A = this chain, B = another copy of it.
């Protein structure tokens, strides 16, 4: 497979390689007649300059890295897969390709090196990170070495590093959910939190607490538990929490996200608790499983597409030298009650 080179095009068009290059790169100092002659041959031959040559003479790769931090497991994959599609799509709309990489964790040196390598080899112009926790040293190192990173769900106050961008989730989701449940008549509300080293889990947790406090609702230890952010640990957390307080059950339970809420569904099913008759359940995210869950899940809608478009666009803006690009953005969401939430038993009409 002998590839065609700029030399071949130059020969066919009767010009020098320099001119071919000028045409390809759309420089202004080429007469229209020459431009057309060269372009016609370029198109006929399906000629696209080798990236390696371009890069070696100083051009970028026009590629974004997409680093998925975590095991490629299914429950996450369900939600994540959309994220992949969306990032690829967002990048494509700015004429960037996406190099995807799954990295089990960043604390092991070999995996951190896997990421460093992709940057160092010059494969990408910037990297998007999904699943990095908020204290990840690599998220310091990379921008400090001059690499642009865009981090999903990562926050630091007044970040001085202009090469580190991020996108964050609505910080009022918990409060809005509690407000709603309170209005329905709920007073005994349980909270199943996620991994608090992730910014959104922390934000949601704090937001739930603010909501509870605002309405003077009791924050009881036995109604607060850890549920991770996938179905399995949430199921275990919910099951343990609920079975430990069967004599004084909460009337509603708020999970860190939809997958976790599915774990709650499962735990409730096993304990014979009907949703929403015996207990209301809330997720957060409005991921692909919420609407088709049985019963349909009350949740808080986050527009994942908007979220990643914000991140990708700001990363590319930075890459292309735009000034004063906002370091982060909080994507506002909206409450979406469905059948999994209802007034608690004592408030219902007989």
Contact = CB atoms under 8 A, between A and B. Distances in A.
Nearest to A265: B292
Interface in A31-83: 46-53, 55-56, 63, 66, 68, 72, 74, 77-78, 80-83
A1 B77 contact: no
Contacts of A10: none
B100 A98 contact: yes
Instruction: Identify the interface centre among A4, A66, A84, A118: most chain B CB within 10 Å of its CB.
Output: A84
A193 to B, nearest CB: 23
A11 to B, nearest CB: 18
A241 B35 CA distance: 57
A92 B88 contact: no
B63 A146 contact: no
Contacts of A117: 48
Given A74-B82, A81-B77, A84-B81, A100 B100 contact: yes
A303 interface: no
A289 interface: yes
Contacts of A118: 97
A85 B82 contact: no
Given A3-B122, A92-B101, A48 B82 contact: no
Nearest to A79: B81
Number of identical monomers bound together in the oligomeric complex = 2
Contacts of A97: 99-101, 118, 123
A202 to B, nearest CB: 26
A120 interface: yes
Interface string A293-313: 110000000000000000000
A46 B3 contact: no
A65 to B, nearest CB: 9
A85 B102 CA distance: 8
Given A85-B72, A99-B98, A121-B50, A147 B56 contact: no
A205 B189 CA distance: 51
Contacts of A116: 46, 48
A293 B98 CA distance: 33
Interface string A79-114: 011111110110010000111111000000000010
Contacts of A113: 46
A311 B323 CA distance: 45
Contact of A82 (B77, B147, B293): B77
A150 B346 CA distance: 61
Given A85-B102, A89-B72, A120 B46 contact: yes
A14 interface: no
A269 to B, nearest CB: 12
8 contacts: A1-B145, A46-B120, A50-B121, A52-B56, A78-B82, A88-B102, A92-B101, A99-B100
Given A52-B53, A66-B100, A97-B100, 8 more contacts: A1-B147, A46-B116, A52-B55, A81-B83, A92-B101, A92-B102, A97-B101, A294-B294
What 9 pairs across the A-B complex have the smallest Cβ distances? A81-B81, A1-B146, A294-B294, A52-B55, A52-B52, A48-B120, A51-B121, A48-B117, A72-B85
